[in-house]
């Protein structure tokens, strides 16, 4: 038993460069949490609501118009999306201009 | 589209036909001005809404047009009213055509409120006394939950059809189409898929036959609006890696754009709750989101009011005015605008961060409706806090959604077991590869 624990600690503490395997040890707790959340959602359906954006008849009476102006450049970022991306979060309200 | 010199060249790797620059020419300011003028004109002279009271009917005894019986009720299979004495069947007129609700959306200006959706006068009592036209007895009806009653002396069915400002009689209703048996089957099927982790008491007390048919109050809103959204979007220029081995990392270069979109649209039959209780959607305290999620209804098939459609069902009275519901409608219009705007910014492959939005509602039309819902309710106390769990069936489409109380201990054990199994596999893998 002690041999196994020693081997795991050795492996997870990063046998040398980087120690990437340590993250594997989170797989157990994370899968438990994910299962709990998935079953909770399946039974309680707390995430469900009327999808009025898709299920209401909307007629666009004129083509969408707009401006697109380049204002800046980002170089060498490690983020895969723009910070604060909310293009798909239709119900998240932003500053309302009157 | 901006054609100024600062317009960028399309970034490499992005299809020129779908670059952010390829949107239709910018709208002239004229429509905005017209909208403002229109709104000002509307405020100056608010258009009168349609009168929807059913003139053929009144409060009290309303008889079968063929035999004179008051034993009239809905026949769900056909959606018609049927006389239980002579089997005569008939329907009230569809309001879509009668009131022209599907027309003129582009010309909507101001706030048009149908007579059944007008403001509630708090001084008007919700408990009404009807004088039976058969025997003269007085029968009390609490319009909060019912709009029909049987005279306890002569057995005539009495109905409430006159629009008084207490919110009880709406402009229109959508009759039940799904029968009690069908609703029971739907609820049973929904719950049977969720047996394993359902609370033991819920399982033992589960009686779907107790499902109740309820007409719930909604506002059905048409709108003519425009919206503007503004923010920043990023287009990926280059992806590359630096380092090697475990230190290998991915980096991105992107161009940042200021993005603006203007949308003009009409919305037909946006349906929102008009009862404060139902509109209060808070998943930590109630399961009203369940009832909300079985929307939409085929509101185009709604018919003029006749309380006989409610015989055998209960109802919930409207208790909110247009002014109280308006912020929710505006919020939903903004969400619709954002949803439509998304299709025009697909070229921003690193996403868009909307920062500002505005809405200009040129016109709205409000019609109050009772819509049919089969509701199974189960009161469950957890951690000292009680909550009613609903399983709801759309009385027209049969769409079913629900909330089933959980056996938390059992679920925790399952999650723990799954986590332990996965962790054991990971440990075994790490040991094997160490």
Distance separating alpha carbons of residues B17 and B23, to the nearest angstrom? 10
pLDDT at B179 over 90: yes
Residue B9 lies in a domain: no
Q: Are the beta carbons of B171 and B194 closer than 8 angstroms? A: no
**Residue A89 CB contacts under 8 Å (≥ 6 apart), including other chains:** none
Q: What is the pLDDT of residue B359?
A: 98
Q: Are the beta carbons of B344 and B23 closer than 8 angstroms? A: yes
Name the stretches of chain A with pLDDT < 50.
Answer: 1-2, 4-5, 14-18
pLDDT at B311 over 60: yes
Residue B426 lies in a domain: no
Distance separating alpha carbons of residues B16 and B71, to the nearest angstrom? 69
Report chain A residues whose CB lies below 8 A from the CB of B32: none
**Which of B290, B335, B433 lies closest to A91 in CB terms?**
B335
DSSP B210: G
**Do residue A82 and residue B233 have CB atoms under 8 angstroms apart?**
yes
> How many Cβ pairs closer than 8 A exist between chain A and B?
297
Q: How do residues B63-80 score in pLDDT, each as one tens digit?
A: 999 999 999 999 999 999
Q: What is the pLDDT of residue B46?
A: 66
Backbone angle region of B100, left / alpha / beta, with phi > 0 → left and psi within -120 to 50 → alpha: left
Residue B425 lies in a domain: no
pTM of the model: 0.85
Q: How do residues B201-260 score in pLDDT, each as one tens digit?
A: 999 999 999 999 999 999 999 999 999 999 999 999 999 999 888 789 999 999 999 999
B263 touches chain A (CB under 8 A): yes
Q: What is the pLDDT of residue A2?
A: 47
User: Could you give the C-alpha distances from B407 to A43, B252, B382, B414, in angstroms and in order?
Assistant: 10, 46, 10, 11
Residue B412 lies in a domain: no
Q: What is the pLDDT of residue A6?
A: 52
**Which of A12, A42, A53 lies closest to B335 in CB terms?**
A53
Residue B418 lies in a domain: no
pLDDT at B103 over 90: no
Q: What is the pLDDT of residue B134?
A: 87
Residue B415 lies in a domain: no
Q: What is the pLDDT of residue B26?
A: 40
Q: Structural domain boundaries of chain A?
A: 22-47
Q: What mean pLDDT comes out for the span B383-408?
A: 96
Quote the domain boundaries for residue B189: 16-403
Work out the minimum CA distance from A92 to partner chain B, whole angstroms.
Answer: 8
Q: What percent of chain B has pLDDT over 90?
A: 74
Task: Specify the number of domains making up chain B.
Answer: 1
Q: How do residues B208-219 score in pLDDT, each as one tens digit?
A: 999 999 999 999
Q: How do residues B18-48 score in pLDDT, each as one tens digit?
A: 444 444 434 333 344 444 444 444 444 567 7
Strand partners, A74: B254
Of B193 and B166, the structure prediction assigns the larger pLDDT to B193
Distance separating alpha carbons of residues A33 and A40, to the nearest angstrom? 10
Residue B305 lies in a domain: yes
Q: What is the pLDDT of residue A57?
A: 95
Q: What is the pLDDT of residue A10?
A: 55
Report chain A residues whose CB lies below 8 A from the CB of B348: 82, 87
Q: What is the pLDDT of residue B94?
A: 94
| Residue B204 dihedral angles phi and psi, to the nearest 5° | -75, -30
B/e letters for A52-89, b = 16+ CB within 10 Å, e = fewer, are bbeebebeeeeebbbbbbbeeebeeeeeebbeebbbee
Residue B81 lies in a domain: yes
pLDDT band at B14 (very low <50, low <70, confident <90, very high): very low
Q: Are the beta carbons of B316 and B265 closer than 8 angstroms? A: no
């Amino acid at each position: 038993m002690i041999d196994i624990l020693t081997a795991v600690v050795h492996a997870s503490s990063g046998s040398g460069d980087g120690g990437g395997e340590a993250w594997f040890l989170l797989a157990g707790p994370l899968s438990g949490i994910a299962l709990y959340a998935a079953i909770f959602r399946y039974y309680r359906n707390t995430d469900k609501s009327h999808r009025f954006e898709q299920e209401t008849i909307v007629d666009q009476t004129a083509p969408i118009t707009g401006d697109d102006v380049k204002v800046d450049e980002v170089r060498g970022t490690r983020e895969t999306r723009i910070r604060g991306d909310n293009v798909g979060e239709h119900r998240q309200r932003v500053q309302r201009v009157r | 589209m901006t054609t100024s010199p600062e317009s960028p060249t399309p970034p490499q790797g992005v299809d020129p036909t779908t670059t952010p620059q390829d949107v239709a020419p910018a709208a002239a300011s004229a429509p905005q001005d017209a909208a403002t003028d229109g709104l000002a004109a509307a405020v100056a002279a608010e258009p009168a809404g349609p009168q929807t009271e059913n003139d053929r009917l009144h409060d009290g005894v309303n008889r079968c047009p063929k035999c004179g019986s008051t034993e009239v009720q809905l026949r769900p299979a056909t959606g018609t009213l049927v006389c239980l004495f002579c089997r005569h069947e008939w329907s009230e007129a569809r309001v879509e055509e009668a009131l022209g609700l599907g027309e003129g959306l582009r010309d909507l200006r101001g706030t048009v409120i149908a007579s059944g959706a007008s403001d509630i006068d708090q001084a008007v009592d919700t408990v009404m006394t009807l004088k039976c036209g058969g025997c003269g007895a007085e029968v009390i009806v609490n319009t909060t939950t019912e709009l029909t009653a049987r005279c306890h002396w002569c057995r005539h069915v009495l109905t409430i059809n006159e629009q008084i400002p207490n919110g009880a009689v709406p402009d229109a209703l959508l009759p039940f189409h799904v029968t009690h048996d069908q609703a029971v089957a739907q609820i049973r099927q929904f719950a049977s898929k969720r047996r394993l982790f359902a609370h033991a008491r819920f399982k033992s007390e589960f009686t779907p036959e107790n499902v109740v048919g309820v007409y719930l109050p909604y506002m059905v809103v048409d709108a003519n609006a425009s919206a503007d959204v503004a923010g920043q979007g990023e287009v990926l220029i280059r992806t590359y890696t630096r380092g090697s081995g475990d230190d290998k990392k991915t980096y991105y270069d992107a161009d940042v754009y200021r993005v603006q979109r203007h949308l003009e649209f009409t919305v037909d039959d946006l349906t929102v709750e008009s009862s404060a209780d139902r509109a209060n959607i808070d998943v930590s305290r109630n399961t009203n989101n369940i009832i909300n999620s079985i929307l939409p209804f085929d509101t185009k098939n709604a018919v003029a009011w006749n309380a006989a459609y409610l015989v055998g069902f209960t109802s919930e009275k409207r208790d909110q005015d247009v002014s109280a519901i308006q912020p929710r409608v505006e919020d939903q219009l903004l969400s619709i605008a954002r949803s439509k705007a998304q299709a025009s910014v697909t070229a921003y492959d690193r996403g868009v961060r909307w920062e500002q939005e505005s809405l200009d509602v040129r016109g709205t039309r409000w019609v109050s409706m009772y819509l049919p819902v089969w509701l199974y309710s189960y009161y469950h106390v957890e951690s000292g806090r009680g909550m009613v769990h609903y399983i709801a069936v759309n009385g027209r489409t049969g769409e079913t959604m629900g909330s089933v109380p959980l056996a938390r201990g059992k679920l925790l054990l399952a999650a723990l077991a799954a986590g332990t199994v996965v962790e054991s596999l990971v440990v075994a893998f790490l040991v094997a590869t160490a």
